């Protein structure tokens, strides 16, 4: 079909569908914190035991990312994202029948998390890099905002549903929504690339109309993780992204709700704070994507990690006052101040990180590079979700976890600041087929 017949470029439809997919899948994943206390009570388990479920989940998620990237390169976004959504829905329903923590470790920790891996920002980022030549950073920001929107919608909804009906009825409802309402549109409307449907990426023009399936594919250089980690620009992207995982989906998304419960906040206040964080997360993510098309991304990352470190300090203030429980409850504005400030810098690191990666490694498989970056992020998420649970059982608090996260964020800011510039000579060196010459 001729591009001129489309008033809205199909790239924006791909973006919308991907946004809804990430909202649904990652919203379920980020609701884990809402289930921690109910599962502790249901199975008479410690927090470290329930945190082990999260640890397994993040490890499976992490290990899946490079392979998901390769599968997307091979089979396309449509198959991987659609089938992953179906797997999440079915396995979420199966958690209804769990009667012991080990069963949750298998169903949620392993099976569901394979689906999470295939319905992640890796797949969304590959879709954006294929469909968008212009406004790529902005589109990456919007796609990443799907995860934040899932946090905005599904985390407080899960809290309210659990409070009203119990966790078992909640997982049934969530699972059926994914299977019956989300999976069909993905299968019907997703397209793997502009070329397979006879279109050009958004922002590109050609002197001749392209024919479906006949656009020449630019060959990409093969690369392994051992070659990538020798590159300063990859290593200095990967380590801060690891810290990002520790401090966001690891510590905050898993333990912020239990932390607030420890401080004595009511479910209504906690739900409102989580919604506030998610709303500003969306704002920060979209704004970051827009600015990454205009500003130097490495300085953006240094600023974002530094501001995140300062924001986490607010939790120390709350912990310091937690001995005066009445003060904390009366000063719930501290929780909302944290929600606003952390929300703005939460997922905002994704767009500049992925944009830098696409600039540094433009001649390499996009799915492979992004997959390895998200591997580091999810390993960080695994440790950031599990270790604080263990430390909580040992110390009865979150002081050490919060102090450690502040230190890690300072390191991440420093590494981002000294990233090399994404200059033309860096982009064009074929350093991956002959590493002995280029190091």
Sequential pLDDT tens for the chain (439 residues): 444 444 778 888 888 998 999 999 988 988 887 888 899 888 988 878 888 888 888 788 878 877 887 788 778 888 999 999 999 999 999 999 988 999 999 999 999 999 998 888 778 878 887 888 777 778 877 887 787 788 778 888 888 899 889 999 999 999 999 999 999 999 988 888 777 777 787 777 664 444 444 444 454 555 666 767 777 888 888 999 999 999 988 888 788 888 888 877 887 888 788 888 888 988 888 888 888 888 888 899 999 999 999 999 888 887 775 444 444 445 678 888 899 999 999 888 888 888 888 777 776 666 678 778 888 888 898 888 888 888 888 888 888 999 999 999 999 999 999 988 765 444 344 444 443 333 3
**What pLDDT was estimated at residue 97?**
92
Q: Is residue 137 part of a domain?
A: yes
Q: Sign of the C-alpha dihedral, residues 364, 246, 258, 36?
A: positive
Within-domain flag for 427 = yes
Q: Rounded to the nearest 5°, which phi and psi values hold at 163?
A: -65, -35
The rounded distance, in Å, linking the Cα atoms of 345 and 256 is: 16
- Quote the tokens at residue 404: 């450690």
Any domain includes 438: no
Structural domain includes residue 439: no
How many Å is the Cα radius of gyration of the chain?
A: 21
CA pair distance 49, 47, nearest whole angstrom: 5
Instruction: Report yes or no: 318 and 328 within 8 Å, Cβ to Cβ.
Output: yes
Q: Structural domain tally of the chain?
A: 1
From the list 119, 139, 105, the residue with the least C-alpha distance to 10 is 139
Identify whether 210 is part of a domain.
no
Residue 422 CA to residue 376 CA, distance in Å, equals 21
The alpha carbon torsion through 404, 57, 311, 36 (nearest 10 deg) reads: -100
In a domain, 208, yes or no: no
CA diameter of the chain = 72
Instruction: Supply the CATH number for residue 409's domain.
Output: 1.20.1250.20
Contact indicator for 400, 384 with CB cutoff of 8 Å? no
Give SS3 for 132. strand
**Stated pTM of the model:** 0.70
- Whether 125 and 133 have beta carbons less than 8 Å apart is answered as no
User: Domain for residue 212, yes or no?
Assistant: no
Q: Assign residue 9 a region: left if phi > 0, alpha if psi is -120 to 50, beta otherwise?
A: beta
H-state helical runs in 214-349: 225-228, 232-245, 253-262, 267-292, 297-320, 325-330, 333-345
pLDDT, residue 331, reads: 61
Residue 81 belongs to a domain: yes
The reported pLDDT for the residue numbered 88 is 94
Show the domain range for 370: 3-202+220-432
């Amino acid at each position: 079909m001729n591009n001129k017949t489309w008033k809205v470029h199909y790239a924006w439809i791909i973006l919308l569908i991907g946004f809804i997919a990430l909202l649904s899948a990652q919203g379920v994943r980020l609701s884990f914190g809402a289930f921690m206390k109910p599962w502790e009570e249901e199975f008479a388990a410690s927090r470290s035991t329930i945190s082990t479920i999260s640890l397994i989940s993040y490890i499976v998620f992490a290990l899946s990312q490079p392979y998901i990237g390769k599968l997307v390169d091979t089979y396309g976004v449509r198959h991987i994202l659609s089938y992953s959504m179906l797997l999440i829905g079915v396995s979420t329903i199966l958690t209804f029948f769990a009667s012991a923590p080990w069963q949750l470790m298998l169903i949620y920790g392993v099976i569901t998390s394979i689906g999470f891996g295939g319905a992640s920002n890796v797949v969304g980022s590959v879709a954006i890099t294929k469909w968008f030549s212009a406004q790529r950073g902005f589109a990456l920001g919007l796609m990443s905002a799907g995860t934040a929107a899932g946090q905005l919608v599904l985390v407080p909804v899960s809290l309210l549903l659990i409070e009203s009906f119990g966790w078992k009825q909640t997982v049934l409802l969530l699972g059926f929504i994914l299977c019956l309402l989300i999976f069909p549109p993905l299968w019907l409307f997703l397209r793997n690339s502009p070329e397979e449907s006879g279109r050009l990426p958004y922002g590109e023009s050609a002197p001749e109309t392209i024919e479906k399936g006949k656009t020449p594919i630019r060959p990409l250089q093969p690369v392994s993780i051992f070659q990538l980690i020798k590159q300063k620009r990859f290593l200095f992207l990967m380590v801060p992204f690891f810290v990002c995982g520790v401090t966001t989906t690891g510590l905050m998304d898993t333990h912020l709700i239990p932390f607030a419960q420890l401080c004595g906040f009511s479910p209504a206040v906690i739900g409102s704070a989580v919604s506030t964080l998610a709303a500003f997360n969306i704002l920060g993510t979209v704004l970051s994507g827009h600015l990454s098309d205009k500003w130097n991304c490495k300085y953006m990352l240094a600023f974002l990690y530094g501001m995140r470190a300062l924001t986490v300090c607010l939790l120390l203030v709350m912990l310091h006052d937690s001995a005066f429980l009445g003060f904390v409850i009366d000063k719930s504005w501290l929780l909302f101040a944290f929600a606003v400030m952390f929300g703005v810098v939460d997922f905002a690191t994704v767009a500049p990180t992925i944009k830098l990666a696409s600039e540094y490694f433009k001649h390499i498989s996009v799915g492979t590079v992004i997959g390895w970056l998200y591997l580091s992020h999810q390993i960080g998420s695994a440790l950031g979700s599990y270790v604080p649970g263990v430390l909580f059982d040992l110390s009865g608090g979150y002081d050490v976890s919060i102090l450690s996260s502040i230190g890690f964020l300072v390191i991440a800011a420093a590494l981002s600041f000294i990233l090399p510039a994404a200059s033309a000579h860096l982009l064009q060196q074929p350093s991956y087929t002959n590493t002995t010459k280029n190091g």
